[in-house]
Chains A and B, each alone.
Chain A
């Protein structure tokens, strides 16, 4: 579809621009301002130049060590949950019933975890995993597995990952399901006539049709897991030790816990920059995928 060039369209975009600029650009300027200064309380600020940034990227300092360690943990966490949620989401989408009332029931149950406030998600798993009063913790321990997410690092990680899988796999599944629904029956009939195997149908018909939604899913899941805060904070509080302290948790600790505005602001900027770069890569890939197959866009 050709779009006409019309500069007056800016008037239509103006409200959005105003609202988002108010809540994005203004605060970001404050952050940039803070990131160059040091404070000893009482609203007294001292110029610090790029000092915080140097410290941040140097693992031998306290700040740098904490930042890089939490960044590493966060990347590992994102990688693990993507590796589990994407294949699992595809499998669940393929397992959806085709018609009848069961479809609605499955969809509603799938969507349920997505609408639970994040701290309640944390609470649910905090309770569910407790060895004394939680079904999961109690069952595991009575099976002879020594499971305690409060004191054991591995258990804490496992809990946080299973919780994320529980919370977000549905999103991937629902996206894939939407992609699968858009495949016309004729495709399957043609495949049947050709005698294509189940695997061949998946690879040649279903996967390409899910391409675009899968990209959205990976983008959303990567971004949201990269800035995860509430759920692990409620369950483990970042512990035991610092083993589940992700970047956002570290940032809030520094900003609102210690009120170290300069350090927190510098960390925020680097954090945001990483997100921006990844986001840009995804966006480019996505718009390119869109131009290759223009018939996919706007089929709503």
Chain B
């Protein structure tokens, strides 16, 4: 009853549409540049691991992955840590200016990164954080913290208020209640929020590129280096691209059972 005619065909063709461009990238990453440029082959006829080998042995390449993961992790931790108490406050209490504050937070999630690129550059240069993972991690907070508050607020609201009251009657102090009772109850919500913070910080390029120059350069910025005087190194570019997809794919695999609810931001 709740299905539509031809749903299998629709689903399969949509999945093929999603996978085909990714397959092409993977396909190219196993080819040599000669094969890429000279022939049109649906799969690598002379498969090579040369492209991957170059990335894993050249420090200027693999350090990009480490830099990216560093600021993504810092950002996720900061976002969740500050968002948790705020989500609780928004869910349980009314206070002066709460609605305005919530809207203001949300509006920052929507602010275009391009607007902030230049002022962030000035700001982080002024406080000597330019070209460190911290600069990027803090800059990404502008859209991840509001998002984390938004998601967690939905999950905290799902916890019945009686649980708080019982805990306080039993003599729990507020921090202890928070750590021992609330956090375990909304563990899946925290997972979902962390997933989203990871996702949006991992995919962002404009701010990450603007706020770094040498030491903290993210992998996505390093990838542009494949354009050289000798022409485009397509195989290397493809291999680097495939490697940026892997962390995301791993994260999705771990949260696959929460994806559906997570994408509704806890408020279906």
Q: Show the binding face of A for B, using Cβ within 8 Å.
A: 1, 3-10, 12-13, 15-17, 19-20, 22-24, 26-28, 30-31, 91-92, 94-98, 104, 106-120, 123-125, 127-128, 132-136, 138, 166, 169-171, 174-175, 177-183, 188, 191-192, 198, 201, 206, 212-213, 216, 223, 226-227, 229-230, 247-249, 251-252, 255-256, 261, 264-265, 268, 271-272, 275-276, 279-280, 283, 296-300
**Cβ–Cβ contact B122 & A30, under 8 A:** yes
Looking at A8, A94, A136, which has the most chain B CB atoms within 10 Å of its CB? A94
B225 contacts partner chain A, Cβ-Cβ < 8 Å: no
Nearest B residue (CB) for A265: B118
The residue that B85 contacts in the complex, of A13, A19, A275, with Cβ under 8 A, is: A13
Chain A nearest Cβ from B136, distance in angstroms: 11
Chain B, residues 13-26, CB within 8 Å of chain A (1/0): the string is: 01101111110110
The residue that A92 contacts in the complex, of B10, B94, B155, B224, with Cβ under 8 A, is: B10
Name the B residues within 8 Å of A248 (CB-CB): 112-114
Nearest A residue (CB) for B189: A300
The residue that A213 contacts in the complex, of B113, B118, B141, B268, with Cβ under 8 A, is: B268
**Cβ–Cβ contact B4 & A94, under 8 A:** yes
Nearest B residue (CB) for A201: B1
Chain A nearest Cβ from B212, distance in angstroms: 14
Looking at A26, A135, A223, A280, which has the most chain B CB atoms within 10 Å of its CB? A135
**Cβ–Cβ contact B4 & A198, under 8 A:** yes
**Cβ–Cβ contact A178 & B264, under 8 A:** yes
The residue that A166 contacts in the complex, of B18, B103, B199, with Cβ under 8 A, is: B18
State whether A15 and B85 are in contact (beta carbons under 8 Å apart), knowing that A3-B94, A31-B119, A300-B189 are contacts in the complex: yes
A98 to B260, alpha carbons, bound, how many Å? 13
State whether A106 and B268 are in contact (beta carbons under 8 Å apart), knowing that A9-B95, A24-B108, A300-B189 are contacts in the complex: no
Chain A nearest Cβ from B44, distance in angstroms: 13
**Cβ–Cβ contact B88 & A12, under 8 A:** yes
Q: Show the binding face of B for A, using Cβ within 8 Å.
A: 1-5, 7-8, 10-11, 14-15, 17-22, 24-25, 28, 36-37, 40, 42, 78, 81-83, 85-86, 88-90, 92-96, 98, 101, 103, 105-108, 110-120, 122-123, 138-139, 141-142, 145-146, 149, 154-155, 157-158, 161, 189, 199, 202-206, 210, 219-220, 223-224, 234, 237-238, 241, 244-245, 247-249, 251-253, 256-257, 259-261, 263-268
A19 to B149, alpha carbons, bound, how many Å? 12
A57 to B52, alpha carbons, bound, how many Å? 50
A92 to B110, alpha carbons, bound, how many Å? 26
Name the A residues within 8 Å of B110 (CB-CB): 223, 227, 275-276, 279
Nearest B residue (CB) for A224: B110
Chain A, interface SS category: helix
**Cβ–Cβ contact B252 & A298, under 8 A:** no
Name the A residues within 8 Å of B98 (CB-CB): 9
Name the B residues within 8 Å of A4 (CB-CB): 92-94
State whether A261 and B18 are in contact (beta carbons under 8 Å apart), knowing that A23-B142, A192-B1, A206-B2 are contacts in the complex: no
